[in-house]
Amino acid sequence: MRSIVALLLLLFVLPLQAAGKVQEYRLDNGMKVIVKEDHRAPIVVSQVWYKVGSSYEPVGITGISHVLEHMMFKGTEAHPPGEFSRIIAANGGRENAFTGRDYTAYFQTLSKDRLEVALELEADRMRNLTLPPEEFVKEVNVVKEERRMRTEDKPTSLTYEQFSAVAYRVLPYSHPVIGWMNDLDNLTIEDLRRWYRLWYAPNNATLVVVGDVDPQQVLALAKRHFGPLKPERIPTLKPLREPPQRGETRVRVKAPAKEPYLVLGYKTPVLRTAEQEWEPYALDMLASILDGGSSARLSRELVRGREIAVSAGAEYSAFTRLSGMLLLDGSPAPGTDMATLERALREQVDRLREEPVSRQELERIQAQVVASKVYELDSVFYQAMQIGTLETVGLDWRLLDQYVDRIKAVTPEQVQAVARKYLTDDALTVAVLEPLPLENGTTAPATTGGNDVLR
């Protein structure tokens, strides 16, 4: 078994080189430019990442980063609303944007000779957005519809939203990326103007370009279009820390549904906040022990084995700006009650605390990590995504190259150590979805979307 892993690791060096090195530049105005060559296909992906997202938002204007992301398509002096999208389309491009807790990003995928079209437009809307009030009135309604679709009418999303809201006492990860409906109702165009001025500047942005390009040419284009933009004084964020949790927290969520659902979360550090650099990698490994594929413990023991869950998962990310959680979730199999499912998930955690994981389990995960590093090279978009995420949460993208070695270095003792240190009952939050009837012919309970007092 161990020899297989060694073989795979050797192999992994080759395609990385074939895919080309990463070049990093900084423009005079502070904007970072990162270029990765990948010459397999004549295409290029261009992403502009801003250091702003829902975790930057104070209560009262939650969701503003995401609404601003929508408004970024609503025109500048040079290009009226909608023209950005039309130009990208006419150049054969695909585009979109996304907002997360720690970032807002805009991307285009294009034939390689069209890169400049994207850079010119992105540079323009970095500083010159007009934010017309009449467009805002319509677009905030679109965002509310998005919230209804993603959250209000989805019992599992509602459960997760309530879970996060009670799990974090201090960290702004407590509020949803899309924002609370009340805050969307009260958002104004002036709020957006302020938010845009505050964060949208070259010294708060990173351009990531991956594809069939010459880094020097990309740099020249970036200088031409982004170079003239003036930097801003970007607000300094206070360091936020979640105070120690002093006992289990539970929340029940009632919503029209057919099936119950359960979320468990333990407060855990991330790379930026861990006392020991190996801890987040050990937590990453721990999550894979539970849920790294169909042969991992949750599928093997709870879905098959005891057959008490129809689905069960575990999730952890080391690459966020602030500390986070190791999450477990599950849906019970017919005939299993929620208490049994919860006990089973917690017993899995107990076991990680009590006994070291097997060498065989570690090696399986190492093999998966090594292989997926190669598979990633099949997607230029994903490669750019990883670089952009790390840069924007305040980490060095070079960590990506070290990732396999770091995971390989994790020992069974370290997995047990992080389980004992962080997966404690007092640091646990539990949310349980309790289905309300949704039989046909009834009218909607006043709670579903009833806070909507529009126009």
Partner 1 sequence: MYCADRMPARFLLLLAGLLLSLTALAGPKIEQWTTANGARVLFVRAPDLPILDLRLVFDAGSARDGALPGLASLTNGLLSDGAGPWDADRIAERLESVGAELEVDSARDMAWVAVRTLTEAKPLETTLETLAAVLARPTFESDDLERNRKAMLTAVRLGEQNPGTVAGKAFYRALYGDHPYGSPSGGTRESLQAITRDDVLRFYRRYYVARNAVVAIVGDLDRARAEALAQRVTADLPAGEPAPALPPVQPLAEGREIRRPFPSSQSHILMGQPGMRRGDPDYFVLYVGNHILGGSGLVSQLSEEVREKRGLSYSVYSYFSPMRREGPFVLGAQTKNAKAEEAMGVMRDTLRRFIERGPTADELTAAKQNITGGFPLRISSNSKIVEYLAMIGFYRLPLDYLDRFVGRIEAVTAEQIRDAFGRRIHPDRFVTVVVGNGQAAAAD
Query: Scanning residues 40 to 79, which ones bind partner 1 (CB under 8 A)?
Result: 40-43, 66, 69-70, 72-73
Interface with partner 1 in residues 318-377 (CB under 8 A): 331, 333-334, 360, 363-364, 367-372, 374-375, 377
Question: β-strands 428-436, 249-256: how paired?
Answer: parallel
Residue 69 annotated as catalytic: yes
Check residue 157 for interaction with partner 1 (CB under 8 A): no
Residue 177 phi, psi dihedral angles, 5° rounding: -55, -40
Encoded tokens for 94:
């695909």
Q: Which is nearer to partner 1, 277 or 439 (CB)?
A: 439
If one asks whether residue 378 binds partner 1 (CB under 8 A), the answer comes out as yes
Residue 234 interacts with partner 1 (CB under 8 A)? Answer: no
**CB of 379 vs partner 1, minimal distance in Å:** 6
CB closer to partner 1, 58 vs 334: 334
Taking contact as CB under 8 A, which single stretch among the options 150-158, 160-168, 222-230, 239-247 is the one that binds partner 1?
A: 150-158
Q: Give the whole-angstrom CA distance, residue 20 versus residue 32.
A: 19
Among the listed residues 37, 57, 69, 122, the single catalytic one is 69
Q: Sort strands 32-37 and 205-211 into parallel, antiparallel or unpaired.
A: parallel
Answer yes or no: are the C-beta atoms of 52 and 167 closer than 8 Å. no
Quick check: 452 binds partner 1 (CB under 8 A)?
yes
CB nearer to partner 1: pick between 32 and 144: 144
- Figure out which of the listed residues 23, 111, 203, 249 binds partner 1, where binding follows CB under 8 A: 111
Is residue 434 at the binding interface for partner 1, with CB under 8 A as the rule? no
Query: Taking CB under 8 A as the criterion, which residues in 298-317 touch partner 1?
Result: 299-300, 303-304, 307, 310-311
Specify the length of the chain in residues. 455
**Contact (Cβ atoms closer than 8 angstroms) between residue 406 and residue 281:** yes
Least distance CB 18 / partner 1 (angstroms)? 7
Binders of partner 1: how many residues, by CB under 8 A? 106
Shortest spacing between CB 196 and partner 1, in angstroms: 15
**Using the rule CB under 8 A, is 237 a contact of partner 1?**
no
Which x/- pattern over 13-32 shows residues binding partner 1 (rule: CB under 8 A)? -xx--x--------------
Smallest gap from Cβ 420 to partner 1, in A, equals 27
* Exposed / middle / buried, residue 68 (Cβ in 10 Å: 0-12, 13-18, 19+): buried
- Closer residue to partner 1 in complex, CB, 228/450: 450
Contacts of 29 (CB under 8 A, 6+ apart): 202, 203, 226, 227, 229, 230, 231
Candidate residues 139, 161, 279, 391; the one interacting with partner 1 per rule CB under 8 A: 139
Q: Which residues between 245 and 284 bind partner 1 (CB under 8 A)?
A: 256-259
Stretch that binds partner 1, among 91-99, 123-131, 193-201, 220-228 (CB under 8 A): 91-99
Least distance (Å) from partner 1 to the CB of residue 356?
A: 19
Token pair for 195: 């938010």
The set of catalytic residues is 69
